[in-house]
A and B are shown apart, each in its own frame.
Chain A
């Protein structure tokens, strides 16, 4: 039931039967239980769930930072053994280095490239995320939204296969968050990336994702997969949008009418 139809091509990211437990106060706490998921190339997939449902743990395992107790994680059919520059993470905050300028932050994944190429790539991506003129600025001099743009530029600069995003807009104020969603979609379409995006924000997932995987809290399971078949820009007052929204709230066990 949890397998998505893979279509003709094999999936980019393939997770099967993944489970994970933590030991807490000598009792075993199951955080992830028999997770199956596929992400196809070029797809934008959201993992939606309440806080503490294990979605970040799942992302960390898929990204190679953590290991599972059982199950498989494969990228294009090859098992994941650790972090890899072809698949980069964008964290909620503090992912960029406060000691380095915008330029040096974006240069992080490019140190073994020839200097000319390095400079060309850095310049290109800084401009792409709209930070031209801020090359010499330090993160402490930038707003939250601009910092997250730096993180995006740094990620895109290594031309990654897959980008994992762990609530990347969670620390921003609500207006900046809306702007950054639009920005993210623009970059996603332009760079033809595959994105696996963790969020607990229902609207965020409907606005961004091709598919939404809804997770249940502890032990984390994938309760349902919703396809969002709406063209961008998505009209938040459309009946289809609201149908999905109601369904998501229902799955998460809360009512959005307050």
Chain B
């Protein structure tokens, strides 16, 4: 059960790592991508993304770099090899849980 609880709290981490696995992004881009790619089903408090990103950076899952685009300096995040491994773990856990829930719903 504890594992499932941590999985739920790891949803923003899963979403962010999945999106960053395709391309590097800055915070506003990520928030928009989360909304669009989940068909608005998941809408994170947008400011909440940043502490999650900083924490992931501290754990070596993403790396940040400043880039100036059109005269504005933004912090872009990219996934690291360690982040890719973490994404694999989280995706596997999530698929297992989702499969269990689906099986329960279809059997009911």
- A and B part of one assembly: no
Residues of A within 8 A of B (CB): none
